[in-house]
Amino acid sequence: MSTPQISVGVVGARGHVGVELLRLLHAHPTFRIAFASSRELVGKSLSAFDRVLGDTARFESLDSEAVAARGADVVVLALPNGKAAPYVAAIDATKPETVILDLSADYRFDDGWHYGLPELQSGEGTAPATRISNPGCYATAMQLSIAPMRDALAGPVQCFGVSGYSGAGTTPSDKNDPAKLRDNLMPYALIDHVHEREVTRHLGHAVEFLPHVAAHFRGITLTVNLHLSKPTTHSEVIERYRAFYADAPLIAVQDDAPWVSAIANRNGAILGGFALDAAGTRLVVVCVLDNLLKGAATQALQNLNLAFGRPQLEGIAP
């Protein structure tokens, strides 16, 4: 017996993450693309933007009411922060059983929404959700880095992050201008970044986040400084991380500090480095992930698989 197809509409499909998600959905054995909405690309074939997506489907320009009227099984909102609410309200009024996955920060602090970071939750199929907030890219890297040591921490955790400029979106700015970024490292939002608040809320432990943008296109390097409540050894730390992620095929744990070039265009994350001071009470961990994939589109697909009782990695290559 064949598996029924699940229809998925993507709103804000022009952005870097939207395109990555369309590519993943196109190759998925269960999900099918019902529509892709983008005001800037209306009428253009999806294949004109990414040849993998085929020649038949075309971008549309759909407002919130039109999106709700399509009656898709899933609507993914790949919109800038502050733009999701009208679509959620229209779907709630028209077909509330539709699964909505929001890629922005709009619902990451809302207890009525499921915050979907699968590796830090209890497993496949345990809490199907119809309102899913996808974690931020940096927030994902921070939580993956900190969670295995959560019960051993003393004081706030410091996180120094460097992202490729795709993380700044497609609207032109200093943060995604390759000419301005060349030979530069641009610090920004050094206090009270939304991901700092997001991680502090969801881990229940204070973090201090220092984000930067670099001249490469994709990928995050995060260096995390953890103060520990009691001395530990390098072997104990490595074993703790490997045990914590033993059932998480997208998370690799290695001895050496990983390079961001090793994770570009890959669906997972790599943790490594694991440097301890002489007292064994200060640990530094490095995490790399692709901000467009595990930091956004891949994680969205994991969450959608779980919402429909599918294997968590269906359509996702480890």
Q: In the β-sheet with 131-133, what is the strand arrangement from edge to edge? A: 31-37, 6-11, 74-77, 99-102, 131-133, 114-115
In angstroms, the CA 133 to CA 85 distance is 13
List residues with catalytic annotation: 137
Tens digit of pLDDT at every position of the chain (318 positions): 456 799 999 999 778 898 899 989 988 999 999 999 988 878 777 765 554 555 557 889 999 999 999 999 999 999 999 999 999 999 999 999 999 999 999 999 999 999 999 999 865 444 579 999 999 999 999 999 999 999 999 999 999 999 999 876 767 777 777 888 899 999 998 999 999 999 999 999 999 999 999 999 999 999 999 999 999 999 999 999 999 999 999 999 999 999 999 999 999 999 999 999 999 999 999 999 999 999 999 999 999 999 999 999 999 987
In angstroms, the CA 142 to CA 159 distance is 7
Burial grade of 4 (CB within 10 A; 0-12, 13-18, 19 or more) = exposed
Verdict on whether the full-model pTM lies above 0.85: yes
243-259: per-residue pLDDT in tens?
999 999 999 999 999 99
Question: Domains of the chain, with CATH numbers?
Answer: 6-135+295-307 (3.40.50.720), 137-291 (3.30.360.10)
In this prediction, residue 88 carries a pLDDT of 98
Beta pairing, strands 269-276 & 282-289:
antiparallel
179-233: per-residue pLDDT in tens?
888 999 999 989 999 999 999 999 999 999 999 999 999 999 999 999 999 999 9
Give how far Cα 152 sits from Cα of 146, 209, 226, 248, 310, Å: 10, 20, 9, 21, 34
In this prediction, residue 125 carries a pLDDT of 42
| Cα atoms in the 13 Å half-sphere on the side-chain side of 26 | 17
In this prediction, residue 243 carries a pLDDT of 98
295-307: per-residue pLDDT in tens?
999 999 999 999 9
